[in-house]
A = this chain, B = another copy of it.
Amino acid sequence: MVAKLTAAERSAALASLPGWEAVDGRDAIRRKVKFADFNAAWGFMTRVALLADKQDHHPEWSNVYNRVEILLTTHDCDGLSQRDVKLAQAIDRILTESGN
């Protein structure tokens, strides 16, 4: 069973992930990203998809043309866990590498 972050761990995680915001009404974090076009958005999503599947931890996400919205939470503990922090950090690295 994966452990839910404590209040202190949650605050520290959010402070360390400036691109992410808390989600109203859910113990989750969200990042919205805008790309040049669909091609760029899909390329990003594909990298995240492979990574998420390897980590066996999948985002709740949506895409409209060049915009992608990603929500992370851990269903197993009904809230944020270290798995979300790890995936968020990896997503941030992909975004940095691709100039976002």
A residues near B (Cβ < 8 Å) are 38-39, 42, 46, 49, 52-53, 58, 60-65
Chain B contacts for A42, CB-based, 8 A = 49, 53
A58 / chain B contacts, CB cutoff of 8 Å: 38, 64-65
The answer to whether B53 touches A38 (Cβ under 8 A) is yes
Beyond the given A38-B49, A61-B63, please list 15 additional residue pairs across the A-B interface where CB-CB is below 8 A: A38-B52, A38-B53, A38-B58, A39-B53, A42-B49, A42-B53, A46-B46, A58-B64, A58-B65, A60-B62, A60-B63, A60-B64, A61-B62, A62-B62, A62-B63
Contacting residues, chain B, for A46 (C-beta < 8 A) = 46
